[in-house]
Chains A and B, each alone.
Chain A
Amino acid sequence: MSYLSARGLVRSYGRTPALRGVNLDVEEGEIVAVTGPSGCGKSTLLHCMAGILRPDAGEVTYREHRIDTWSEGARAALRRTEFGVLFQFGQLVAELTAAENVALPLLLAGTGRREARTAALSWLDRLGVADLADQRPGEMSGGQQQRCAVARALVTEPRVLFCDEPTGALDSLAGEQVLGHIVRLAREQRTTVVLVTHDVQVAAYGDREVMLRDGVADPTGLGTVAAQP
């Protein structure tokens, strides 16, 4: 069985189906890009696989454990310890400094304050934003904020990193730097990455690409699913 896998995932928002039976297998240490036009269900797939959302039907397994049936508390603990999550923007707490934002997951895990700050500073340094440690998100550029968010997602050294359009709000150069950091650090740590994007240039940072269309996987890329409803 794969490291992380989705089997026949179905999920609807009200009467609108977002996923209509998606399968996806991700191996350990792999960087998989999930692409597709907007509304194809790729974000929903990521949310289900990361245990943020519960699918209406289907299974999500992570290292041989079926996680979609776990309680919200258990899934939250899993996200806190084994998974890292990175969104497009707006994920930092506005009132906390960069270092405090990055240290937050460690504090939640019960790490001491000083130790957490040291770890946070070293991660900020690895992302080239050590000099921003005591600034608030409002005082940083989008790219700097996103690098802090990467540091926060990786500070717990997660096994899997889920990225949902991580560069969607950045210009191409800032986005490139963020992606470069993600890929480099993921390779160093042997972190598995699920990268959701609509941008083929971003998807090219992955080892392979999985295309989604209208809530199902589109392995041939023919788009015939839509053509033959």
Chain B
Amino acid sequence: MKPWALVRLALAGTRSDTARVALTGLSAGLATLAYLAALTVVAIPTVEDNGSRVSPQYRHALIAEAGLRPGVVVVLVLLTIPVLALAGQCALLGAPSRDRRLAAIRLAGGSPGQAIAIAATETGLASVLGTAAGVGAYFGGRELLHRPGADGKLPLPTDVVPPAWWIAAVCLGIPAVAMLFAVLQLRRVVVTPFGVVRRVRDRPPMPWPGVLIIVGLVITASIVPLSRQLEGDTPALLLVLLFLGLACATVGVVAGTGWISYRTGWLMHRFGRRPATLLAARRLMADPWNGSRTLAGLLACLVFGGGAAGVRSSFATDFQVEREAAERSAPSGVTIEPRDTDFYFGAFNLINIAIAVGLVIAAGGLVVALAESIVSRRRSYAALVATGVPRSTLAKAVMWQSLTPAVLGIATALAVGVGLSRGLFGDASRQDSVVREVPVPLDDLALLGAGAVVAVLAVVGAGLLFLRASTAIEELRV
């Protein structure tokens, strides 16, 4: 297939699948904005000031201090992962007209690979549009947000532009990565000449991901003792270990959701009495990995969020212990000026904002996945409604099948996140004779968990809108 033919065929569907293209474009645009913001921060020039490297023209320390900027960049780049995953997930959105078009292409002699390539190119083209919009928004935003304060300091680095070739690389890279995600998402989709079939693994999941979680926790817990033993200057190794521990635990939680889905499905089938639970149970058992796939972004955010909450709790305890120790050792009558902790908690708040944004984006991906699962079953849903099954029963089934693995997965993710932080920083803080236990940050965890559950509920609500459209009697026509 010549490239022009690929593009021509990929463009054939842009009119009928507006929603999918718009969502793909939007996520590509967001990713572009995040990358350009990160690159801008990277491009900030620094000056030497009494041995510390700073950029004094900015108001916020996070941007002004060169040592803190890599953290900002990392958070921004991490944010783009769920965004790009969302763009790829849009390729899954089972727009019926696209399914028919791909099947027709196969019927006309296209190979399965070509059909997937066309679908991926659609994503790529939509991402190009989104990226262009993102670049436009970036330059527009620079103009709008360039507001020097009374002291001449800038709230944001609106005075720097990354080199042109960096921008060009983002413009090319984002559509390419979105296409890569699309191909990954479509690897279980088989385009036959008669329609699009979604392959599912039929082996029930095993609880091995639990082992992965434990490995992750052990690795993280071994970092501090290891660094004491090594005593040398080995931050690189420790960083790798930290990353490895985090990755193991996150993958374990995500994959473990498959097992959780299957088991809850089994239990619901065993003990459920209502048709809605029967439908949901069978769906969970038939495709337990659906939970892992769709909840991956959300759960990763929550592992990270749980960890951040734990670390925050550790820091808070440390500060308290530090102050108490200072008070004890200080001669009477001297008031101890408490350490200025605003900076740290400000940073934590920023991380929380990033996690919240990540959650929202992951919820967007969840909407896409849920809508896909409903739309691809529209025929049997429509037939059920025609035979008198109330839509509310179907809605309940969708609710059960989405919420049970989500709630259990969310709880696991938060627990693992806190476990990681406690493994790293210990469960107690001591200085001199002052020892304080680090409390489990129940408030923060409850907030995160509730936020995630609310996000999933909102997603189910949005998915139910698709249910109404998918049960229209027209779906029964061939």
> What residues make up the interface of A, taking CB atoms closer than 8 Å to B?
13, 43, 47, 50, 52-53, 73, 76-81, 83-85, 87-88, 90-96, 100, 104-105, 107-108, 113, 152-153, 164
Contact = CB atoms under 8 A, between A and B. Distances in A.
B282 interface: yes
B282 A96 contact: yes
B380 A113 contact: no
A80 B282 contact: no
A92 B386 CA distance: 12
B465 interface: no
B383 interface: yes
A67 B63 CA distance: 69
B275 A91 contact: no
Given A88-B478, A95-B282, A96-B279, A52 B389 contact: no
Interface string B248-288: 00000000000000000000000001110011001101110
A95 B393 CA distance: 16
A80 B393 CA distance: 13
A5 to B, nearest CB: 21
A84 B387 contact: yes
Nearest to A75: B388
Contacts of A104: 275, 278, 384, 389
Nearest to A82: B388
Interface string B149-193: 000000000000000000000000000000000000000000000
22 contacts: A47-B473, A76-B389, A77-B388, A77-B390, A79-B388, A80-B389, A83-B388, A87-B476, A90-B379, A90-B380, A91-B380, A91-B386, A94-B286, A94-B377, A95-B279, A95-B282, A96-B278, A104-B384, A105-B387, A105-B388, A108-B388, A164-B476
B386 A50 contact: yes
B473 A53 contact: yes
Interface in B383-413: 383-391, 393
B387 to A, nearest CB: 5
Contact of B388 (A43, A80, A87): A80
Nearest to B197: A138
Interface string B102-144: 0000000000000000000000000000000000000000000
Contact of B386 (A52, A93, A107): A52
Nearest 7 Cβ contacts at the A-B interface: A80-B388, A79-B388, A91-B383, A95-B282, A95-B286, A90-B379, A107-B275
A100 B274 CA distance: 12
B2 interface: no
Contacts of B384: 91, 93, 104
Residue in A81, A84, A87 with the greatest tally of chain B CB atoms within 10 Å: A87
Given A85-B388, A87-B383, A108-B389, 4 more contacts: A76-B389, A77-B388, A100-B282, A107-B275
Given A80-B389, A85-B387, A94 B380 contact: yes
A95 B287 CA distance: 9
B477 interface: yes
A77 B240 CA distance: 61
Candidate in B273, B388, B478 with the most chain A CB atoms within 10 angstroms: B388
Given A93-B279, A107-B278, A79 B387 contact: yes
Interface string B37-52: 0000000000000000
A87 B384 CA distance: 11
Interface string B435-478: 00000000000000000000000000000000000000110111
Most A-side CB within 10 Å, residue of B387, B391, B393: B387
Interface string B361-391: 0000000000000000101100111111111
